[in-house]
Structure 1
Amino acid sequence: MRSQLWSKLKKRLDNLTCDSLKGRVGFTVTNYRKAHDQMGRAFITVDKKEVLNMCTITSDIRINRKEREIHRINDISYDDYQKNHEISVTAHELVKKEGIYAQYDFYDAVEEFLNMPIEKALKSDDMVIKILALIDRRIGKRTLHLLKESIQQELEIIQYFYHLRCEAEQIEYSQRPGKLKVY
């Protein structure tokens, strides 16, 4: 989001959403003026229900806890600036792997997604990039069918978007995940 306004990014995302999901999938960003950093959250809705919440405060709390846990487990002093920075980066990556994203992570993922080939986006380790790729109009039915086996190894939220897309495209897929918890 560093180089473009959210309204322009949202328009680009909406234009890339496949026809079968247009109007069903929505992207929203909310900033909280009274927050210390004026950041808020980003969320993705399906049929006007929030399915993926990327709240900066929630993410920051989890990153802070993960940092303290790494310090405690490895008995590392807080005095070493370089080591603290490495721990912070590691904690952030671990929290993202758990599916907990901040609003700024969403912005970064959207910008990265918009500037990469769709084939690379499908193979990304970033959960948001992979979700955006699954609902992208450049992904066809054949590619969705080829993903059938590998999608079983993904996070529940990624499987949800895969099944949503298959359902919208009327593609037969294997088991549908149970009730999805909001991320």
Structure 2
Amino acid sequence: MQNSWSVIKRDLEENLLCDKLKGRVKYIIKSDNKKVVYIKVDGIERNIEALKDKKVIQQQDEQNTIKENGLDSIYMLKAIKEYKRSNFNNSLYSHNPLIRMLAIMDKRVTPKLTEKLTKELKNQPDWLKYFYKLRFDIENIPYEDEKEVELEEAKQEEATVTV
């Protein structure tokens, strides 16, 4: 990628991020032995386990790719590049969850489209569900949380057994 990290970061945070998330979502790059990207939401580093998904990057050594909550910058930068080149609607349904993460927080996602995406929540990896729920919450769009549904089903099952 030819742009510097500061240009990429500014573009993500100021130009592509939806208004309601501006100032809340920060993309951070740290350098130890290699550069690692972190995403902070409301000051808390979010766990990005995208590379554990074998559909995204095959035959990668996870120890060399993920450091704590961070992501080796090369994979994030590739995802950003692909995201910016792709048709926006295709990004929402990309095979790459990093691209879907960028897309769900994009300012071009209208509330109406966000509402349609509630059906996609159950198909997302656990780490990515956080970003979908974040978007649903800021748009005040209700969604079914799988854990709440499972808990309710268990309660109903328990009530049936005790009757």
Q: Which runs of 4+ in 1 moved over 3 A?
A: 93-96
1:50 paired to 2:49: no
- 1:94: Cα distance to partner? 9.2
1:92 paired to 2:87: no
| Alpha-carbon distance change, 3 to 133 in structure 1, aligned in 2, over 3 angstroms | same
* Structure 2 residue aligned with 1:81: none
- Residues 42 and 53 in structure 1, CA contact (< 8 A), matched pair in contact too: no
Question: Runs of 5+ in structure 1 lacking a partner?
Answer: 67-88, 179-183
* Structure 1 residue aligned with 2:98: 128
Question: Runs of 5+ in structure 2 lacking a partner?
Answer: 149-163
| Alpha-carbon distance change, 156 to 119 in structure 1, aligned in 2, over 3 angstroms | same
The within-5 A match list for 1:1-183 is 2-14=1-13, 15-32=15-32, 35=33, 39-53=34-48, 90-92=58-60, 101-175=71-145
| Residue identity opposite 2:112 in structure 1 | R
Identity rate, percent: 26
Q: Identify the structure with bigger relative contact order (alpha carbons < 8 Å, sequence gap 6+).
A: 1
| Alpha-carbon distance change, 6 to 100 in structure 1, aligned in 2, over 3 angstroms | closer
| Residue identity opposite 1:7 in structure 2 | S
Bigger mean CA deviation after superposition, 159-168 or 141-150:
141-150
Q: How many residues align?
A: 139
**SS at the partner of 1:129?**
helix
**SS at the partner of 2:94?**
coil
Q: Deviations over 1:121-147 (max 9, x none)?
A: 101111111100000000011111111
2: CA distance between counterparts of 1:92 and 1:158? 20
- 1:150: Cα distance to partner? 2.0
TM-score of the pair, normalised by structure 1: 0.67
Q: Deviations over 1:129-175 (max 9, x none)?
A: 11000000000111111111222111012211111011111112221
* Structure 1 residue aligned with 2:152: none
